[in-house]
Amino acid sequence: MKRLNKEFPDPQAPLTHRNAFELLLAVILSAQCTDARVNTITPLLFPKDRPCTPEDILALGEETVRKIIFPTGYFNSKTKAILGCAQRILELGQVPDSFEELIKLPGVGGKTAQVVLAQWFKQDTFPVDTHIHRVANRLGLANSGKNRDKTERQVKASVPKEHWSALHLQLVFHGRKTCTAAKPKCRSCPLNDLCLWPEKNL
């Protein structure tokens, strides 16, 4: 963690957003899609001059939303989730700030809920994406096979709660920059001597 703090001293949320609602929709769009691509789509979906509201999304309508988000993939299910979330949050009056309430929203699972809680509401959470799952298992922080939920439980059990949110982003960035899925840059990795992965490129 000390080395990751030095490598990524102030990790910032990679998805561009101006309020909790925009972040929620951006995280929904990021499923099976890169953050970089999502950041090119959300400016087309959100108002340019002010933060997006549920009313803005509902006013666009299903056909327009689907057309805008088409490049992110899984556009039919994402359109349904986005419009469903907009309607529900309009009824609630705000984006919920609890895990239990967030996962009740259409199309919102545990990972999405935890990202919103960590990055907007500044709560201690540790959502696990494909990068974190890979990196945590390579480093020896987890030994969970293909089970991401197990990865989450194992890392949470070994890392103090107050470090979860920062470590989440640091492992994502480390997985993108160095510990990539194909051809990881093991020789330049700041964690090389701590890593337990038997397939390291030495």
CB neighbours (10 Å) of residue 104?
A: 13
Task: Report whether 113 contacts 126 (CB < 8 A).
Answer: no
Active site residue 124: no
Check 67, 80, 129, 200 and give the catalytic one: 129
Q: 7 vs 12, 54, 74, CA distance in Å?
A: 13, 38, 34
Active site residue 200: no
Task: Report whether 76 contacts 45 (CB < 8 A).
Answer: no
- Point out the residues that are catalytic: 111, 129
